[in-house]
């Protein structure tokens, strides 16, 4: 995942759990816009509006957006974005860390 300072992003291999998608989840690409949200405004502190997801969503054709988001932990120097996979009680996480 690449988060750009202009509020856009690109992904490879995420989101993975799309039931009607036909491509391999590991090679799935996506793009759209992202924003930090207030804790009481959204389920996620970092919210994503996918405009395109390969073999699944294209806003130019379908209109609207596919939404998703991530939680935040760590520090300003070492932030981590994460999401629960399935039931949060199972503590299975997908974690993104900052790359140089």
Q: Residue 33: name the closest of 62, 5, 61 by CA.
A: 5
**pLDDT tens, 3-44?**
999 999 999 988 877 888 887 888 999 999 999 987 666 678
pTM of this structure:
0.82
Range of the domain at 46: 2-74
Determine, yes or no, domain membership for 82: no
Would residue 85 count as lying in a domain? no
13 within some domain: yes
Count: domains in the chain: 1
List, in order, residues 6 or more apart from 65 with CB less than 8 Å away: 32, 49, 50, 51, 57, 59
Residue 52 falls inside a structural domain: yes
pLDDT, tens only, 34-64: 999 876 666 789 999 999 998 888 899 888 8
- Two tokens, residue 97: 């860390």
Number of H helices, E strands in the chain: 1, 8
């Amino acid at each position: 995942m690449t988060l750009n300072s202009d509020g856009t992003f690109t992904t490879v291999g995420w989101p993975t759990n799309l039931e009607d998608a036909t491509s391999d989840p590991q090679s799935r690409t996506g793009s759209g816009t992202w924003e930090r949200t207030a804790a009481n405004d959204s389920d996620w502190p970092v919210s994503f509006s996918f405009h395109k997801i390969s073999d699944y969503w294209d806003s130019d054709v379908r209109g609207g957006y596919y939404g998703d988001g991530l939680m935040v932990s760590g520090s300003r120097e070492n932030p981590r974005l994460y999401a629960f996979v399935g039931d949060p009680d199972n503590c299975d996480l997908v974690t993104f860390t900052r790359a140089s």
